[in-house]
């Protein structure tokens, strides 16, 4: 049993952490291994909450992050009906889908007005405890939605101005599924927390959440 949980480490797990973090920028230097993408996103949300002391999490319309409580609460593609109350403190923002523009403005090319309006609505509905925004670099269940150039830079600016941690869910895009090794390299924005699954295990139940040393230390 090479991988069970992060309280039982073997040399193979340590080597994997070193090799994984060696592929990433220095700001992403602490890895925790889990079994599924949902668990990785659950852990990422937990890290963000504990590190900041705040609790409101923002997801994107059309997103898919898993089936566990926190991950499914931040999922807006489907699976919300007939379930009952989701985890408290969840907010949603429109996805940049130019084909089916959520604000009926764009056709064929997203001008990112939906992003600015989304944060206006977050400001109107938040209780002032925003902690993290979780996003897929390319939405999968939402219809293979590829954000326009410059979108993630503006998203990062919105997050930084509000002290919001940015979580990239790269279950579908990480480890070589886009032109770069990771999609965040393609868009030129390094997230505060990165989650990986599927391609990491190559069919085995293995996922990871990778964060900065500061976030990881505060989130214990």
**pLDDT computed for residue 211 by the predictor:** 93
Which of 112, 102, 119, 113 lies closest to 56 in space, CA to CA? 119
**pLDDT computed for residue 139 by the predictor:** 85
Instruction: Using the predicted structure, report yes or no on whether residue 214 has a pLDDT greater than 90.
Output: no
Q: What is the pLDDT of residues 162-190, one digit of tens each?
A: 999 999 999 999 998 888 999 999 999 99
What spatial distance separates the first Cα and last Cα of the chain, rounded to whole Å?
25
Q: Look up the CATH architecture of domain 11-218.
A: 3-Layer(aba) Sandwich (3.40)
Instruction: Using the predicted structure, report yes or no on whether residue 112 has a pLDDT greater than 90.
Output: no
Q: What is the pLDDT of residues 20-42, one digit of tens each?
A: 999 999 999 999 999 899 999 99
What does pLDDT average to over the chain? 89
**pLDDT computed for residue 217 by the predictor:** 74
Q: Domain residue spans in the chain?
A: 11-218
Coil, helix or strand for 143? Answer: coil
pTM for the predicted model, two decimal places: 0.91
Instruction: Using the predicted structure, report yes or no on whether residue 1 has a pLDDT greater than 60.
Output: no
Q: Are 93 and 167 in contact (CB under 8 A)?
A: no
Integer Cα distance of 137 and 156 in angstroms: 13
Pairing mode of beta strands 207-211, 56-60:
unpaired
């Amino acid at each position: 049993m090479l991988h069970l949980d992060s309280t039982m480490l073997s040399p193979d797990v340590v080597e994997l952490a070193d090799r994984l973090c060696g592929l990433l920028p220095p700001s992403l230097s602490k890895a925790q291994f889990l079994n599924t993408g949902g668990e990785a996103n659950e852990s990422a949300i937990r890290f963000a909450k504990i590190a900041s002391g705040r609790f409101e999490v923002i997801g994107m319309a059309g997103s898919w992050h898993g089936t566990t409580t926190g991950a499914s609460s931040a999922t807006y593609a489907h699976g919300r009906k007939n379930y009952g109350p989701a985890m408290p403190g969840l907010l949603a923002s429109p996805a940049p889908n130019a084909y089916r523009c959520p604000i009926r403005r764009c056709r064929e090319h997203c001008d990112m007005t939906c992003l600015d309006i989304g944060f206006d609505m977050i400001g109107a509905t938040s209780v002032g405890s925003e902690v993290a925004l979780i996003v897929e670099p390319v939405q999968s269940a939402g219809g293979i939605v590829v954000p326009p150039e410059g979108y993630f830079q503006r998203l990062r600016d919105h997050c930084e101005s509000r002290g919001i941690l940015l979580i990239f869910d790269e279950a579908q895009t990480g480890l070589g599924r886009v032109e770069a090794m990771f999609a965040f390299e393609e868009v030129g924005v390094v997230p505060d927390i990165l989650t990986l699954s599927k391609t990491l295990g190559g069919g085995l139940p293995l996922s990871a959440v990778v964060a900065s040393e500061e976030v990881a230390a505060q989130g214990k």
